[in-house]
Structure 1
Amino acid sequence: MYKVVFVCTGNTCRSPMAEALFRAMLEERGLQDRIIVSSAGIYAFEGEEASPFAAEVMEKEYGIDLKPHRARVLYDDDIRDASLILVMTKRHRDMITDIYPDAESKVHLLKEYAGLHEDTDVIDPYGHDYNTYKRCARELEDLLLAALDRMIESM
């Protein structure tokens, strides 16, 4: 089974939106039984709800219910068991690979993995308005579509 983990800072905005969008994409393509998806945060407060704007954007724009999501910390098991770890920022990547140097080959910036060949971060909507969350979700959607195509080719 192929396992993908999306990682951001608090696991309340970007990574849960990415997880939910990616899960919907897998279901659309009938791949939900081949790829397991989860999310976690470098500095997550275990059990915290998704950001209200993240939940609102996912519901209004995509019909996805993010309310059941609860933040969780990235654990050793996540690193060990993952086939692929997609992070939102260079800092996330560097923090993970500093602690887990053996995992370097499976930790990628989402933008880089999606084929943009850019060493840039996904925008962080935390503390901003609805429209910023919406822009972030649209950016994630585009990146995830490209990432899924690459993933399918490599499986």
Structure 2
Amino acid sequence: MKLLVVCLGNICRSPLAEGALRARIGASPLSDRVEVDSAGTGGWHAGEPPDRRAIACARRHGVDIGGQRARQLRADDFHEFDWLLCADAGNLRDARRLAPDGLEERAVLLLDWSGISPAGEVPDPYHGSEDHFEEVWRLVDAAAQAVVARLSRPAGTGIIGP
């Protein structure tokens, strides 16, 4: 299974979610069966590391995201990844616009797909404080735990495939 977390610029929410998912999946029996990456719908920050506040937030929770580099979402990602887990409705809309015909439904809301919050969105902390980054961490870490639980269910018990 391959998961791609998507936000706007790939420097705040999606790197935090990628880090949380990697940590939770890495500590689970899924570690050799699930891959995680992230991307942004915009390319403004391509090649850059995550926002320094996101790096510091993840570090406070024992997760190193400093080696990640931003990249822009590509249409090919819909072929490469099973699920594109979008931070908010705007990211979802933009991702689906880029999707090749018939693959739009691979893009979903992260909090909804994980079972944390139907139609839930991860707020963008970019213009906020450390507290906003901590709020995002709480959401994406809860989603990561729920993703591990979802993907750990035995076959035939509700795991939705692409």
Q: CA deviation at 1:69?
A: 1.4
Matches within 5 A, 1:67-146: 67-100=66-99, 101-116=101-116, 118-146=118-146
Letter in 2 for 1:143: A
Shift of 1:116: 4.1
Q: Which residue of 1 aligns with 2:28?
A: 29
What is the distance in 2 between the residues matched to 1:99 and 1:17? Answer: 23
Runs of 4 or more above 6 Å deviation: none
Give the Å deviation of 1:104.
2.2
Equivalent position amino acid for 2:72 in 1:
V
The code of the aligned residue for 2:96 comes to T
Q: Deviation of residue 51 (structure 1)?
A: 0.6
Greater helix fraction, Structure 1 or Structure 2: 1
Match in the other structure for 1:49: 49
Within 1, Cα distance between the matches of 2:69 and 2:58? 15
Q: In the TM superposition, what is the alpha-carbon distance from 1:117 to its structure 2 partner?
A: 5.1
The Cα of 1:11 is off from its aligned counterpart by 0.4
Task: Report the identity percentage.
Answer: 28
Task: Tell me which moved more, 138-147 or 34-43.
Answer: 138-147
Q: State the aligned residue count.
A: 153
Aligned counterparts of 1:59 and 1:88: Cα–Cα separation in 2: 21
Which string of whole-angstrom CA distances, capped at 9 and with x for unpartnered residues, describes residues 96-128 of structure 1?
222324222221101111224522311111121
| Residues 57-107 of structure 1, C-alpha deviations (whole Å, 9 max, x = no match) | 1111x1112211110111222121111110001111111222324222221
SS in 1 for 2:133: helix
**Match of 1:29, as an amino acid?**
S
Distance in 2 of aligned mates of 1:65 and 1:144: 16
The one-letter amino acid paired with 1:145 is: Q
Report the residue type matching 2:127 in the other structure: G
Kindly report the root-mean-square deviation, in angstroms, between the aligned alpha carbons of the 2 structures.
1.5
Assess, with a 3 A threshold, how the Cα gap between structure 1 residues 117 and 16 changes in structure 2: closer, same or farther.
Answer: closer
**How far apart, in 1, do the equivalents of 2:152 and 2:90 lie?**
27
Instruction: Say whether residues 1:14 and 2:13 are aligned partners.
Output: yes
Report the CA distance between 1:151 and its aligned residue: 2.6
Distance 1:147 1:123 in 2: 19
1: CA distance, partners of 2:132 / 2:105: 31
